[in-house]
A and B are shown apart, each in its own frame.
Chain A
Amino acid sequence: MSNRADEGRWVREARSGDLGAFWKLVERHGPMVRRLLQRLVGDRDRADDLFSETFMRASDRIDQFRGESKFSTWLTAIAINLAKNELKLEKRRSTLPWENVIPDEAHRHGKTHADLAEWADPHTILEQKELAELMERVVRQLPPKYRVVFVLRDVEGLSTEETAEALGLSITAVKSRAARARLALRKSLAPALSTKARPVTRA
């Protein structure tokens, strides 16, 4: 049976008071919601509190889900709304100018350096655990408004349109923030993943 058909039935059953049906929705989407919150707020205990609050709120408002969007997008919007307070606390470095996400002057002068050295396969350079920790750390360094877009697009795999819907942003804003976030992460990961640790100059 298709996922969407299952979900439609579970939502209807949950609306008529069947907790078992609602629990099926928790089991299907819980791991996604938990990972999203962990990536957004960093602190795992706080992320778990927000995880529970997300499903409590979804259960209170299940009548309001009309099936116009995917259930996962609806849940995502609830989770992000609950995480907003945490994200607001991090107002420091709230923007990510182009200058900070692209390689420096050297690029325009036709030189190459560590930031522009080719990358090896990340899995051959770092152990899985080290790589996972590095990936998590650099995502947390992104200013919140970029982090949230990146996590939805590239960790949770939402489309540009779904991300825009979950965040109440325009498609253009999602694209622009995703582009900067990705370039910023690339830049942060480069020192660990590039094949050249030291600056080199092309002849």
Chain B
Amino acid sequence: MPDCRKLLAQMSEYIDGELPKDLCASLERHLADCPNCRVMFDSLTKTIKIYREGKEEPLPDELKDKLHKALEARWARKRRA
């Protein structure tokens, strides 16, 4: 049985499309035969997916106002300098 641990280390690169072709082929062969690694692969892919699909919140007005005022003061000083 191939070393599952070694393949776990490669799964991330495989998901990113950054694993060399020959290693992709051996990982795919292993996944076809090892149910535990298939579960690992599927749950790892889902982990990455839920984080990637998260949305950014719009900036709160209060935070924007505070930053805008601070920038105005700084830029006014820059212009005078």
Contacts and interface: CB of A to CB of B under 8 A. Distances in A.
Interface stretch (A3-11, A71-79, A185-193): A185-193
A54 B47 CA distance: 29
A160 B16 CA distance: 9
B43 A135 contact: no
Nearest to B18: A160
Contacts of A108: 4
Contacts of B66: 52
Given A52-B66, A103-B40, A185-B47, A31 B58 contact: yes
Which secondary structure dominates chain B's binding surface? helix
B31 interface: no
Interface in A21-68: 22-23, 26-27, 30-32, 34-35, 48, 51-52, 55-56, 59-60
B50 interface: yes
A87 interface: no
Contacts of A179: 9, 11-13
Interface of A: 17, 19, 22-23, 26-27, 30-32, 34-35, 48, 51-52, 55-56, 59-60, 98, 102-103, 107-108, 110, 112, 116-119, 121-122, 131-132, 135, 139, 150, 154-155, 157, 160, 175, 178-179, 182-183, 185-186, 189-190, 193-194, 202
